[in-house]
Amino acid sequence: MSKKYIVLDRDGVINVDLFDYVLKNEDFQFENGSLEAILKLYENDYEIIIATNQKCINLNLITADGIKQINDFWIGKVKEKGGDVLHVGVCPHRDEEKCDCRKPKTGLLIAAEKKLNITLEGCYFIGDKLSDLECAIAHGCKPILVKTGYGTRTYESTFPEESLVFENLKSAVDWIVS
């Protein structure tokens, strides 16, 4: 059986969006049911790819290694429960740097594909911001909007009509694996 891949945004999807930067482990709080959702994906043979914009790195609020430590912290919680995350893609850039990886640009997905020798075309991509949905569509992924984090605001604004909408990661995953 060929592997299934799914792309997840982090802040506002997996963890509670503080509407500020997550700069230490204590700032990372799983959204309601999100840890269970990640485990459910894993148990259903989904390989999980994270694509996250973290301009706090190039704003010098935290180092790239500091961000890695926070990701190691929460992925450690996933591993404690028997799950795993295959790949974490982080864009450290500020908007003005005009990089190719800050979502809605698709560089994080392209880098993951090259590193893992896979394709993410046709995969679900779950996010809470318009930039996630636009990134998904630009890369040929299936966009899913969750109403956690910025999701309610995104939902109340204009967003791509082909997006599927769910209350949170848990309900999105329940639907995906059903």
- Does residue 9 belong to the site contacting Mg ion (CB under 5 A)? yes
Q: Give the strands of the sheet with 4-8, arranged side by side.
A: 87-91, 46-53, 4-8, 124-127, 142-146, 164-166
The residues annotated as belonging to the active site are 9, 11
List the single partner that 102 binds among Mg ion, Zn ion, none, CB under 5 to 8 Å by kind: Zn ion
Min dist. Cβ of residue 117 to Mg ion (A): 27
In contact, 131 and 153? CB cutoff 8 Å: no
- Does residue 110 belong to the site contacting Zn ion (CB under 5 A)? no
- Does residue 31 belong to the site contacting Mg ion (CB under 5 A)? no
Q: Residue 83: which residues within 8 A CB-CB, separation 6 or more?
A: 38, 39, 41, 42, 43
Tokens of 167: 């209350």
List the single partner that 9 binds among Zn ion, Mg ion, none, CB under 5 to 8 Å by kind: Mg ion
- Does residue 91 belong to the site contacting Zn ion (CB under 5 A)? yes
Min dist. Cβ of residue 93 to Zn ion (A): 3
- Does residue 134 belong to the site contacting Mg ion (CB under 5 A)? no
- Does residue 103 belong to the site contacting Zn ion (CB under 5 A)? no
Q: Judged by CB under 5 A, how many residues of this single chain contact Zn ion?
A: 5
C-alpha to C-alpha distances, 70 to 17, 67, 74, 81, 127, nearest whole angstrom: 14, 5, 7, 18, 19
Which of 6, 12, 41, 168 contacts Mg ion by CB under 5 A? 12
Q: Tell me the residue type at 119.
A: T
Q: Residue 85: which residues within 8 A CB-CB, separation 6 or more?
A: 38, 48, 49, 50, 75, 78
Which of 101, 126, 136, 172 contacts Zn ion by CB under 5 A? 101
- Does residue 143 belong to the site contacting Mg ion (CB under 5 A)? no
Angle in degrees, CA 74, 115, 17, rounded to 5:
30
Min dist. Cβ of residue 39 to Zn ion (A): 29
Q: Where do contacts with Mg ion occur on this chain (CB under 5 A)?
A: 9, 11-12, 128
Q: Where do contacts with Zn ion occur on this chain (CB under 5 A)?
A: 91, 93, 99, 101-102
